[in-house]
Amino acid sequence: MGRVLLILFALLTLAFVATGAVHTSGTAPASTPEGAVQAMFANVQGRNWDGAYGYISTASNVDLPTFTRDLTGRDGSLRTYSSLESVTAHAMNENANEATVRTELKYSTAVGAFYDTKDLKVVKDSGDWKIMWVAEKVPVVPPQVIPVNYLRWDIVWRGVGDDWGAQNVENPHIRILSMNPAEQNGSVILLGEVENEDTVPAFVSVGATLVGKNGQDISQETSFDKASHILLPKEISPYRIDFPKVKLTDVKSVRMKPDSMLVPASADPVIGVLHQRIEQDAKGHTVLRGELMNESGQTVNIPHVLATFYDNSGKVIWISDGYVDHALMPQTPQSFAVDLRDDLAKNVHSYRVTVNQYSLNRKD
């Protein structure tokens, strides 16, 4: 699945570049802090890096290549496979010479919309408003030896001329541990967990069909990326299945359809989850924050975080996910945040974070 997603990312990136190939020329002076930010990101949308850089204050002490890499991403991260779709900016704490501009960015990616919020300092520079750009700190991983001692499962399939019987290896046994229906914004959502109860790794897919009061099928959906699809033996994954524009009162029953397939897999790279806490973001919404630590010697290009929230009885009450738009470098922490419904925050007794990962050089 990782290779398929990365190919899709690459194809969409080419499309993004093609649609954003028209460059604007010149840098018109900005008369307001919001205008400077809007103009800079308008040039970013047009992939006019020189034009965007023209709105950066010289006091930022950042060169054009570094500035461009901050905006386009590096190391095969999700940012490198994205395109800036829209920008909203409004000034805070403004005076005659400087202001803080809260900037909300929406990116288009192969896995859906990605949102980012930046508080940018804007200052008067030779009479015009310019942005104080703080360059991202690129981690420097020191030379070191990291032992490789993880488990790995390979598969030898029956060949055409081999007389091994009529079938290959049996598909792994998986089990739905729980299924809890919920409703949000006029949509039915199924929340639960699935376990690979076998001794071999499995590629798992969870689908469901909603049956109406008249016995007819209403809708059929799958968990898509709101689940960990490759499960090692005895591993548990959350799953979330969304049914847009379906009311829970119209549903009589649910048919679950878990599928599994035997796949080669490994237990590396190991990604640790550190400093988890529930708090409010800059907009006052509830989020689960933490840090991811890539404990291997490989680069993880696109990390995907899944958070499962439980009440005091151990029931799954919400599942949230989010992609991190920076690659995980070896032995280097990277922050993450996923949303939690504000109305459910008071009912959360515990939570569990799992991490999917897609890497360019991964073989399994």
Mean pLDDT of the chain: 88
Structure tokens at 217: 């099928």
Percent of the chain exceeding pLDDT 70 equals: 88
Bridge partner list, 191? 180, 240
d(CA 299, CA 255) in angstroms, rounded, equals 40
Q: Are the beta carbons of 77 and 359 closer than 8 angstroms? A: no
Inform me whether the pLDDT recorded for 281 exceeds 80: yes
Asked if omega into 269 is within 30° of 0 (cis), the reply is yes
Q: Are the beta carbons of 251 and 210 closer than 8 angstroms? A: yes
Percent of the chain exceeding pLDDT 90 equals: 68
Which residue pairs, CB below 8 angstroms and at least 24 apart, start in 63-69? Answer: 66/135, 67/133, 67/135, 69/136
- Give pLDDT, residue 149: 81
Domains for the chain: give ranges and CATH numbers: 2-132 (3.10.450.100), 152-156+167-265 (2.60.40.1620), 268-358 (2.60.40.1620)
- Give pLDDT, residue 13: 52
What is the tens place of the pLDDT at every residue in 221-274? 999 899 999 999 999 999 999 999 999 999 999 999 999 999 888 888 889 999
Range scoring the smallest mean pLDDT among 102-116, 131-145, 205-219: 131-145
d(CA 331, CA 267) in angstroms, rounded, equals 17
Q: Looking at the whole model, is its pTM more than 0.85?
A: no
Q: What average pLDDT does the segment 92-116 reach?
A: 91
Q: Are the beta carbons of 276 and 289 closer than 8 angstroms? A: yes
d(CA 245, CA 248) in angstroms, rounded, equals 10
Amino acid at 291: E
Range scoring the smallest mean pLDDT among 16-20, 176-180, 240-244: 16-20
Of 349, 296, 278, 335, the closest CA to residue 141 belongs to 296
